[in-house]
């Protein structure tokens, strides 16, 4: 079973979420007509150094890459800019490296304290779920020390250049990366942070060296809260009235609830349908790069509809 197969079953049995194929086709035609650019890997907010240190940075980044939406909004100042969300996370960790804090050392992760994290992520407000992030990082740090001598590069090398194999290794070997759910008695795989970790390694190394992976096309979109918000805004995702009312009223959806699972599964398959529509127009992009394009749109376009609220460590 893989992410596509398991989420397809959800889409086929959805009750509250649907994909508008006409809107999907229209979006593909708009991109083909107006042109678009796949975002480059950012060099300003992400640390880059020796390969083994860069690999640890990406693991650190994606271990902590979840849930930025709590209020009050957390922001930091970095190089004259005010950043929030994911960009604030990346810049905070890069700032910590520049300040000599040993955030690339998994021994440091294994013993990180609440106050340590408070300093690393200092800014306006507090990073959401700081305590949970510390606990997760300690467990991941200990696992990396015990199994791989603190070097994530060893996990990467064990995959022998295969993106699917690396994804499987991460989901099995790195704690808190096995992102799954149960829907009507069926196991559903999402692996959001595990997949984005593989894609981020590919991006950070420009698809070369440690980032030279075969079968990157096997990755799907990364089912989070921002992508479905963008897809709903574009008319691609449609919510039944009871669900739409909940989301618009900012009512929380429990992690693993049928509503949340349907949103995430339909997000993955909306991107799959968009990929197929683009391919028919002569544009051949893997799902993960379409995800990057949609996420980048969500950072720039006004969004009238709120995203769904699910408190989770997985996205």
Q: Using one digit for the tens of pLDDT, what is the confidence trace for 13-30?
A: 999 999 999 999 999 999
Distance from C-alpha of 56 to C-alpha of 153, rounded to nearest angstrom: 7
| Residues 153-168 pLDDT 10s | 999 999 999 999 999 9
pLDDT at position 157 is 98
pLDDT at position 44 is 95
Q: Which residue has the tokens 């197929």?
A: 276
* Residue 313 pLDDT exceeds 80: yes
| Residues 57-88 pLDDT 10s | 999 999 999 999 998 999 999 999 999 999 99
Token digits of residue 69: 């939406």
Distance from C-alpha of 88 to C-alpha of 294, rounded to nearest angstrom: 19
pLDDT band at 304 (very low <50, low <70, confident <90, very high): very high
* Residue 150 pLDDT exceeds 80: yes
Beta-carbon contacts of 130 under 8 Å, excluding residues fewer than 6 positions away, are 114, 117, 118, 121
- Residues recognised as catalytic: 224
Compute the average pLDDT of residues 109-130: 98
Tell me the C-alpha to C-alpha distance, in Å, between residue 21 and each of 26, 44, 61, 266: 8, 37, 35, 12
* Residue 200 pLDDT exceeds 80: yes
Token digits of residue 249: 């009223």
Reported as half-sphere exposure (CB side, CA atoms, 13 A), residue 215 has a value of 11
Residue 111 CA from chain centroid, whole number: 25
Supply the mean pLDDT for the chain.
97
Distance from C-alpha of 216 to C-alpha of 220, rounded to nearest angstrom: 9
* Residue 296 pLDDT exceeds 80: yes
Greatest Cα-to-Cα distance within the chain, rounded to the nearest angstrom: 53
pLDDT at position 144 is 98
* Residue 1 pLDDT exceeds 80: no
Q: Which residue has the tokens 């700032």?
A: 95
């Amino acid at each position: 079973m893989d992410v596509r197969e398991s989420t397809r079953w959800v889409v086929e049995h959805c009750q509250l979420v649907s994909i508008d194929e006409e809107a999907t086709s229209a979006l593909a035609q708009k991109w083909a007509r107006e042109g678009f650019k796949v975002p480059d890997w950012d060099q300003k907010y992400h640390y880059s150094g020796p390969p083994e240190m860069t690999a640890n940075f990406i693991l650190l980044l994606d271990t902590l890459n979840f849930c930025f939406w709590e209020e009050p909004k957390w922001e930091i100042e970095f190089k004259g800019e005010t950043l929030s969300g994911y960009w604030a996370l990346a810049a905070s960790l890069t700032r910590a490296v520049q300040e000599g804090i040993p955030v690339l050392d998994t021994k440091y992760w294994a013993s990180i304290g609440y106050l340590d994290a408070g300093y690393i992520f200092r800014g306006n407000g507090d990073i959401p779920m700081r305590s949970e992030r510390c606990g997760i990082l300690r467990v991941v740090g200990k696992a990396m020390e015990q199994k791989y001598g603190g070097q994530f590069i060893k996990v990467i090398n064990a995959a022998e250049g295969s993106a699917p194999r690396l994804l499987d290794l991460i989901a099995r070997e790195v704690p808190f990366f096995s992102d799954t759910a149960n829907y009507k008695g069926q196991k559903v795989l999402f692996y959001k942070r595990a997949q984005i970790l593989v894609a981020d390694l590919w991006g950070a190394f420009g698809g070369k060296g440690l980032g030279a992976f075969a079968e990157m096309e096997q990755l799907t979109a990364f089912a989070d809260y921002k992508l479905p918000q963008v897809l709903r805004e574009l008319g691609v995702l449609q919510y039944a009235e009871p669900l739409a009312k909940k989301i618009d009223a900012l009512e929380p959806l429990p992690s693993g609830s049928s509503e949340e699972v349907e949103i995430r599964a339909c997000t993955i398959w909306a991107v799959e349908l968009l990929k197929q529509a683009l391919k028919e127009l002569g544009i051949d992009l893997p799902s993960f790069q379409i995800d990057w394009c949609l996420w980048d749109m969500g950072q720039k376009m006004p969004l009238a509809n709120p995203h769904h609220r699910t408190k989770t460590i997985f996205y």
